[in-house]
């Protein structure tokens, strides 16, 4: 829920924010409890 609010705020403040790099370059962390990104590089313009 907090991550959703954070992303909504970022998108409102930086509506032209884009992924910095290829989606294939994203690093995923997996465990039996969760699955998520290690990092999410973006360009703020």
Question: Residue 22: which pLDDT band, with cuts at 50, 70 and 90?
Answer: very high
**15 pLDDT higher than 90:** yes
| Average pLDDT rounded to a whole number, residues 20-35 | 85
Q: What is the pLDDT of residue 1?
A: 58
Give the pTM: 0.58
**13 pLDDT higher than 90:** yes
d(CA 41, CA 24): 12
**Contact between residue 41 and residue 32 where contact means Cβ atoms under 8 Å apart:** no
pLDDT cut 90: percent of the chain above it:
36
């Amino acid at each position: 829920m907090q991550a959703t609010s954070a992303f909504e705020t970022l998108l409102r403040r930086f509506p032209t924010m884009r992924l910095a790099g290829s989606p294939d370059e994203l690093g995923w962390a997996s465990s039996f409890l969760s699955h998520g990104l290690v990092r999410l590089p973006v360009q703020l313009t």
